[in-house]
């Protein structure tokens, strides 16, 4: 048996060479990091859940005409994707103040923003992913103006769609991060959605209780992270019904830790 070639290993995923040219296999790990990998841990079963959740969301986005790198899920932890040249920009979309915007600008977490904000961060771990403006992107040539227009348009469309999807299952979409890539076809590159959409890169709050159903449970030591990811998958219809509603467990975790 020959060993497949590892193309790239990130903090939460591994990319392997795909079965055909122009494809890759995206493997989802249980590893979790926060604060630029200063905090490291594992969330049991996270890779399996994120693989399913991201498959579900990218498939739905495909049906509304958002081009994505997703081809098909291969097994519990792997999906076949199209190989792209990743644009080195993390695109954060915010509907509600939380996390770094709350800290930076002194806005109370949970404040509904009067309009949706798109922020850009330069994808560079050594620099700690600094926030950047359009001017930096143009100046350093990280993406063209045309590409940035496509990225911003897609980010807004993804946000509108996801806000509705999550609202329908009692979840408030506070914010999330997207990554895009260039798909080369002959001499032309087209921007498509890459990476993943999962509770790792989204803030998802239960509408009724305000309970966090995302990676903030890990970042902030709230406990119950595996249950939170399961709850998101369950509400999306990806796990068998009849499992107990995990939000009750979340409240218990919070009480135990006095948070
Ligand atoms: P922030 O409030 O820490 O800037 O995060 C905004 C959103 O982006 C939040 O949903 C988490 C996500 N995110 C990532 O996916 N990766 C990152 O490295 C960071 C800092 C945030
Ligand atoms: N990407 C962050 C890290 O580098 C994790 C996060 O806060 O989402 O560890």
Q: What is d(CA 171, CA 221) in angstroms, rounded to the nearest whole number? A: 21
Mutate to test the pocket of ligand 2, among 9, 13, 29, 37 (most ligand atoms within 8 A of CB): 37
Is 25 in contact with 208 (CB distance < 8 Å)? no
Q: Do 6-84+225-244 and 85-206 come out as alike in CATH topology?
A: no
Share above pLDDT 90 across residues of the chain, in percent, rounded to a whole number = 90
CA atoms within 13 A on the CB side of 29: 13
Residue 176 forms beta bridges with which residues? 93, 202
CA-nearest residue for atom 5, ligand 2, is 34
Domains of the chain, by residue range, sit at: 6-84+225-244, 85-206
Q: What is d(CA 92, CA 175) in angstroms, rounded to the nearest whole number? A: 7
Instruction: Point out the ligand 2 atom lying closest to the alpha carbon of residue 125.
Output: 4
User: What is the rounded (10 degree) CA torsion for 11, 12, 17, 18?
Assistant: -160
Is 78 in contact with 107 (CB distance < 8 Å)? no
Mutate to test the pocket of ligand 2, among 10, 13, 33 (most ligand atoms within 8 A of CB): 33
pLDDT confidence tier of residue 127, bands split at 50, 70 and 90 = very high
Q: Tell me which DSSP letter residue 34 carries.
A: E
Is 150 in contact with 164 (CB distance < 8 Å)? no
Structure-token pair, residue 223: 């406990």
Burial group, residue 2, by CB count within 10 angstroms (0-12, 13-18, 19+): exposed
Greater model confidence, 208 or 185 = 208
Q: What is d(CA 46, CA 31) in angstroms, rounded to the nearest whole number? A: 8
Is 151 in contact with 134 (CB distance < 8 Å)? no
Structure-token pair, residue 20: 């055909």
Task: Answer whether residue 242 shows pLDDT above 70.
Answer: no
User: What is the rounded (10 degree) CA torsion for 155, 158, 162, 164?
Assistant: 110
127 lines ligand 2 (CB under 6 A): no
| Ligand having the closest approach to the CA of 203 | 1
List ligand 1's pocket residues with C-beta within 6 A.
Answer: 92, 98-101, 129, 175-177, 201-203
For residues 163-186, average pLDDT: 98
| Ligand having the closest approach to the CA of 178 | 1
CA-nearest residue for atom 8, ligand 2, is 34
For residue 5, how far is its CA from the centre of ligand 1 (angstroms)? 30
Q: Tell me which DSSP letter residue 2 carries.
A: P
The pLDDT score that the predictor gives to residue 123 is 98
Instruction: Point out the ligand 1 atom lying closest to the alpha carbon of residue 102.
Output: 2
| Ligand having the closest approach to the CA of 179 | 1
Q: Is the CATH number 3.30.200.20 carried by domain 6-84+225-244?
A: yes
Residue-wise pLDDT for 23-76, tens only, equals: 999 999 999 999 999 999 999 999 999 999 999 999 999 999 999 999 999 999
H or E element in which residue 130 lies: none
85-206 — its CATH code? Answer: 3.30.470.20
36 lines ligand 2 (CB under 6 A): yes
- For 16, phi then psi, to 5°, come to -115, 155
pLDDT confidence tier of residue 17, bands split at 50, 70 and 90 = very high
Task: Answer whether residue 6 shows pLDDT above 90.
Answer: yes
Q: What is d(CA 238, CA 53) in angstroms, rounded to the nearest whole number? A: 8
């Amino acid at each position: 048996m020959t060993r497949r070639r590892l193309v790239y290993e990130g903090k939460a995923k591994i990319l392997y060479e795909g079965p055909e040219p122009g494809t890759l296999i995206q493997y989802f790990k249980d590893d979790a990091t926060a604060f630029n990998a200063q905090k490291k841990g594992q969330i049991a079963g996270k890779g399996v859940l994120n693989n399913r959740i991201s498959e579900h969301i990218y498939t739905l986005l495909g049906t509304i005409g958002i081009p994505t790198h997703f081809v098909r899920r291969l097994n519990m932890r792997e999906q076949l994707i199209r190989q792209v040249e990743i644009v080195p920009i993390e695109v954060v979309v915010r509907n509600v103040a939380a996390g770094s915007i709350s800290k930076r600008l002194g806005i109370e977490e949970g404040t509904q923003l009067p309009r949706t904000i798109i922020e850009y961060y330069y994808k560079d771990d050594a620099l700690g992913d600094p926030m950047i403006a359009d001017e930096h992107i143009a100046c350093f040539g990280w993406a063209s103006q045309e590409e940035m227009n496509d990225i911003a348009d897609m980010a807004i469309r993804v946000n509108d769609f996801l806000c509705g999807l999550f609202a329908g299952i009692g979840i408030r979409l506070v914010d999330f991060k997207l990554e895009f890539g260039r798909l080369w076809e002959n001499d032309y590159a087209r921007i498509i959605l890459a990476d993943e959409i999962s509770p790792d890169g989204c803030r998802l709050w239960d509408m009724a209780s305000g309970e966090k159903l995302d990676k903030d449970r890990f970042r902030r030591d709230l406990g119950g992270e595996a249950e939170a990811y399961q709850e998101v998958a369950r509400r999306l219809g990806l796990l068998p019904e009849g499992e107990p509603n995990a939000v009750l467990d979340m409240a218990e975790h919070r009480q135990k830790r006095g948070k």
